[in-house]
């Protein structure tokens, strides 16, 4: 009997310890979120910036919150400096702690923590209209009828409704779609494939956009033939979520800046941030900077040589960092350039360094250094460096687009055969067909930039 009680006590103790271990990250994340809300409330009260704006933008590194503090009225400069320092702390050390805690917390679903539940519908009638080779009064009448039927019965089969609408009028679908020799059934199968591809493509785009929003454990599922259900647990900003999910994608062709311009912009931004850091260290640091003027030229040459060698194509994959102490010293001297890795004339930023680079680039004073006709853009997804670390490409491009999607007539995806380039075997290839004016402009742009890359 005594032994049975002992075993039971040990099991209960083990279960309690296990529960504490699993619950600790969740409790820690909850405590950090409470601290975050309290600090943001204090900053809002002192600066006059609305609390909901701070909550929305505190971890959006594409937004310069510090500039909002600088523009605050009836706040003295010393208070502004203190508030900006608190903001930077929240976006650096505190942010790292919060992300680490949230990565291990128990994920609560929509039913436990609330959030957003969205039902989206892919407009297949619009897809049909765009696939039509030509349109007339009869086609427009059929399109309106299909739209009304689908509105009346959301569960109706799109392809069957289209087929019945054409059959009722005894109009061959080949008049508007496909090849004149194709039957209505063949064209319906083609439309069905296009509709399925449209829904699947929409699913992929939504997943990418929701990953950008930073929601943990989102649910994105297909409902029926043309509806998509999205669950976003814990989302506190419905307006931003709707804007992000419903925004229109715009295809643009932009030219990458010349390597010399890119190197100069990096040097200018790096020098500005380094000078700012040194100035913030007080009079002692200022004296040290003044005493070190004799070495400024040598340091500039070192930085310039590093950038030239990187942009010139010296192969150094991201992740091959020096010792920690040397890295910290390098980041003090070159806070911006030290976080950039360049390989074959492309700028790459390690995933762990991207938040800091975004903080730098979101600042209005840093944006003022970048020439107004250029902008930095990120790649749409990270890549694997091959040594266990992921990185993002960062491009300096011209703001003005040379071409937009309006110049396209058609776009088709094929699978590479590897005949001309074995490395492309099995890879998806997008074949673009330009309109006449678009083809002329594209030819002119490529002709003027032969050998530039």
Quote the Cα angle for 199-225-189, to 5°: 80
- Residue with the bigger pLDDT between 98 and 322: it is 98
150 and 119 part of one domain: yes
Report if residue 56 sits inside a domain: yes
pLDDT of residue 211: 64
- What band does 282 get if pLDDT is binned at 50, 70 and 90? very low
Report if residue 422 sits inside a domain: no
- What band does 92 get if pLDDT is binned at 50, 70 and 90? confident
Q: What is the DSSP letter of 198?
A: H
Bridge partner residues of 390 (DSSP): 384
267 and 287 part of one domain: yes
62 and 133 part of one domain: no
Report if residue 47 sits inside a domain: yes
pLDDT of residue 285: 38
pLDDT in tens, 368-384: 999 999 999 998 788 88
213 and 266 part of one domain: no
* Pick from 282, 257, 295, 287: nearest CA to 374: 257
177 and 143 part of one domain: yes
Domain limits for position 237? 115-249
Domain boundary, last residue among 74, 106, 138: 106
Q: Where are the beta strands (DSSP E) in 280-404?
A: 341-343, 346-350, 374-378, 383-384, 390-398, 403-404
pLDDT in tens, 116-172: 788 887 777 887 887 787 888 899 899 999 888 888 887 788 888 888 899 888 888
- Number of domains composing the chain: 3
User: CATH number of the domain that 152 lies in?
Assistant: 3.30.70.3400
Domain boundary, last residue among 196, 230, 249: 249
Domain boundary, last residue among 359, 376, 401: 401
Q: What is the mean pLDDT of residues 414-424?
A: 72
132 and 159 part of one domain: yes
Sequence-distant (6+) residues with CB within 8 A of 380 are 208
Report if residue 129 sits inside a domain: yes
pLDDT in tens, 220-232: 888 777 788 888 7
What's this model's pTM, rounded to 2 decimal places?
A: 0.55
204 and 178 part of one domain: yes
Report if residue 98 sits inside a domain: yes
pLDDT exceeds cutoff 60 at 96: yes
DSSP sequence for 63-123: S-HHHHHHT-TT--HHHHHHHHHHHHHIIIIIHHHHHHHHHHSPPP-HHHH-EEEEEEE--
DSSP sequence for 279-307: HTT-HHHHHHHHHTGGGHHHHHHHHHHHH
433, 411 contact by CB (below 8 A): yes
Lowest model confidence (mean pLDDT) among 203-217, 226-240, 278-292, 423-437: 278-292
169 and 238 part of one domain: yes
Report if residue 407 sits inside a domain: no
56 and 164 part of one domain: no
Does an H or E element contain 9, and which?
helix 2-47
Report if residue 424 sits inside a domain: no
201 and 231 part of one domain: yes
132 and 66 part of one domain: no
Report if residue 434 sits inside a domain: no
pLDDT exceeds cutoff 80 at 76: yes
Q: What's the distance, Cα to Cα, between the start and end of the chain in Å?
A: 82
Q: Rg of the chain's alpha carbons, rounded to an integer?
A: 29
Q: Write down the mean pLDDT value for the chain.
A: 78
30 and 79 part of one domain: yes
């Amino acid at each position: 009997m005594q032994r049975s009680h002992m075993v039971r006590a040990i099991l209960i103790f083990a279960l309690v310890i296990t529960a504490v271990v699993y619950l600790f990250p969740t409790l820690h994340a909850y405590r950090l979120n409470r601290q975050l809300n309290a600090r943001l409330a204090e900053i809002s009260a002192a600066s006059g910036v609305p609390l909901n704006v701070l909550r929305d933008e505190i971890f959006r590194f594409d937004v310069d919150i510090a500039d909002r503090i600088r523009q605050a009225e009836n706040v003295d400069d010393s208070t502004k400096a203190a508030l900006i320092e608190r903001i930077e702390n929240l976006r650096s050390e505190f942010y790292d702690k919060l992300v680490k805690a949230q990565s291990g917390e128990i994920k609560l679903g929509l039913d436990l923590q609330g959030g957003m539940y969205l039902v989206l519908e892919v407009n297949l009638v619009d897809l049909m209209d765009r696939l039509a080779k030509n349109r007339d009064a009869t086609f427009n009448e059929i399109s309106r009828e299909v739209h009304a039927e689908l509105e009346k019965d959301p569960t109706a089969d799109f392809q069957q409704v289209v087929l019945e609408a054409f059959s009722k009028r005894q109009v061959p679908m080949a008049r508007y779609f496909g090849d004149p020799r194709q039957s209505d059934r063949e064209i319906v199968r083609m439309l069905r494939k296009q509709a399925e591809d449209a829904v699947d493509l929409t699913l992929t785009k939504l997943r990418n956009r929701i990953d950008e929003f930073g929601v943990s454990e989102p649910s994105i599922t297909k409902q029926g033939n043309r509806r998509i259900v999205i669950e976003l647990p814990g989302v506190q900003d419905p307006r931003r979520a709707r804007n992000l999910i419903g925004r229109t994608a715009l295809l643009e062709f932009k030219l990458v800046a010349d390597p010399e311009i890119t190197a100069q912009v990096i040097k200018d931004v790096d020098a500005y941030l380094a000078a700012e850091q040194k100035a913030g260290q007080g009079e002692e640091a200022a004296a040290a900077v003044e005493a070190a003027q004799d070495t400024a030229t040598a340091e500039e040459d070192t930085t310039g040589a590093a950038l030239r060698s990187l942009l010139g194509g010296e192969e150094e994959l991201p992740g091959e960092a020096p010792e920690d102490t040397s890295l910290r010293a390098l980041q003090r001297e070159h806070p911006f350039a030290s976080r950039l890795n360049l390989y074959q004339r492309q700028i790459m930023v390690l995933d762990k360094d991207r938040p800091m680079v975004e903080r730098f680039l979101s600042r209005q004073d840093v944006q003022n250094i970048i020439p107004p006709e250029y902008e930095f853009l990120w790649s749409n997804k990270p890549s694997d460096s091959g040594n266990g670390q992921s990185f993002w490409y960062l491009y300096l491009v011209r703001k003005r687009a040379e071409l937009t999607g309006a110049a396209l007539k058609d776009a088709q995806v094929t699978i590479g055969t590897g005949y001309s380039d074995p490395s492309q075997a099995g890879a998806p290839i997008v074949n673009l067909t330009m309109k006449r004016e678009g083809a002329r402009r594209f030819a002119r742009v490529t002709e003027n930039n032969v050998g530039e890359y």
